[in-house]
């Protein structure tokens, strides 16, 4: 099985890059599934029904999210519907949405970190419960771990090594160079990166961010402009056992 997992999509520049590049990558890499983190797709924070539909029409199969999933209120009624959108599994069971989604025989799971991230249940115990409750554990399980601390991401990768096919970090918008197969067959990368303006500070207008750091005054921050980075990872998985065969970064830059 050949799967592409795309980093945090930032606003209109990120959506445009997905629209421009994903169809070609589907053909070039002969992809069976495309997963993308979309929690910053609408104006740099949150997701709307229209932006979700745009990404799904561009060739993405499943949209994951994170701590900004509630930022655009109009998406909330859709989280319990049929759209392939998930929020972190380890959020309260009383909030809308679901933490995992089946697509083409693959179970996609979303988790949120706790270090520097605010309140959430333990992601380690939450995924343990999920795996224990499955009547029949599917061979291929992909985990998007939306977390800040590199240590927390690495720890979860080792914790789930051999039990899921991939643990892939999102949230920091800065891609890391440690993509590898862990000893028991789980693909891992600390952070996939982002799909957003290249000349920016993690997707945000650079001048506005610099001014904020210099003055320590509150400023309105907007999505940057211009050509975009497209960060993703391509994973090949042995479908019967669910073990990762390879993981490689797929990074592009739009014109």
| pLDDT tens track for 52-61 | 999 999 999 9
Tell me what the pLDDT averaged over the chain comes to.
Answer: 96
Report the helix count and the strand count for the chain, using DSSP H and E.
5, 13
Hey, where are the domains in the chain? 2-253
Check pLDDT > 90 for residue 86. Answer: yes
- Across 206-216, average pLDDT: 94
Using the Cα atoms of residue 106, residue 143, residue 63 and residue 226 in order, give the sign of their dihedral.
negative
Question: Which residue is catalytic, options 68, 146, 171, 173?
Answer: 68
Yes or no: say if 34 and 113 are a contact pair by the CB < 8 Å rule: no
Can you give the pLDDT at residue 220? 82
- Across 207-215, average pLDDT: 94
Can you give the pLDDT at residue 234? 98
pLDDT digit string, tens, across residues 102-161: 999 999 999 999 999 988 999 999 999 999 999 888 999 999 999 999 999 999 999 999
At 235, list the tokens. Answer: 């994973």
Can you give the pLDDT at residue 137? 85
Can you give the pLDDT at residue 218? 84
Distance separating alpha carbons of residues 55 and 2, to the nearest angstrom: 19
Can you give the pLDDT at residue 37? 98
Selecting from 3.40.50.1860, 3.40.50.720, 3.10.620.30, 3.60.21.10, what CATH number does the domain 2-253 have?
3.60.21.10
Distance set, CA 103 to CA 21, 32, 79, 107, 122 (Å): 21, 10, 16, 7, 25
Active site residue 171: no
β partners of residue 246: 236
In degrees to the nearest 10, what's the CA dihedral of 65, 68, 70, 71?
Answer: -130
Distance separating alpha carbons of residues 241 and 215, to the nearest angstrom: 54
**pTM of the predicted model as reported, rounded to 2 decimal places:** 0.96
Check pLDDT > 90 for residue 79. Answer: yes
Can you give the pLDDT at residue 154? 98
- Across 177-186, average pLDDT: 98
- Across 58-72, average pLDDT: 97
């Amino acid at each position: 099985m050949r799967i592409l997992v795309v980093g945090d999509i930032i606003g209109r520049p990120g959506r445009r890059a997905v629209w421009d590049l994903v169809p070609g990558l589907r053909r070039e890499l002969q992809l069976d599934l495309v997963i993308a983190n979309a929690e910053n797709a609408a104006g740099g924070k949150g997701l709307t029904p229209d932006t979700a539909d745009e990404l799904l029409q561009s060739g993405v199969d499943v949209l994951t999210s994170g701590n900004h999933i509630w930022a655009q209120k109009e998406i909330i009624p859709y989280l319990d519907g049929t759209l392939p959108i998930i929020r972190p599994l380890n959020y309260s069971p009383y909030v809308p949405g679901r933490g995992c989604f089946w697509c083409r025989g693959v179970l996609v799971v979303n988790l949120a970190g706790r270090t520097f991230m605010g309140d959430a249940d333990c992601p380690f115990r939450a995924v343990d419960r999920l795996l224990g409750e499955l009547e029949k554990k599917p061979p291929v399980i992909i985990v998007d771990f939306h977390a800040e601390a590199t240590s927390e991401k690495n720890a979860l990768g080792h914790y789930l090594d051999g039990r899921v096919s991939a643990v892939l970090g999102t949230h920091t918008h800065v891609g890391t160079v440690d993509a590898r197969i862990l000893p028991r067959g789980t693909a891992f990368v600390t952070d996939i990166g982002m799909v957003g303006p290249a000349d920016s500070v993690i997707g945000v207008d650079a001048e506005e961010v610099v001014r904020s750091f210099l003055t320590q005054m509150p400023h309105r921050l907007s999505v940057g402009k211009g050509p975009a980075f497209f960060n993703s990872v391509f994973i090949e998985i042995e479908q019967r056992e669910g073990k990762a065969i390879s993981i490689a970064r797929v990074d592009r830059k739009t014109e």
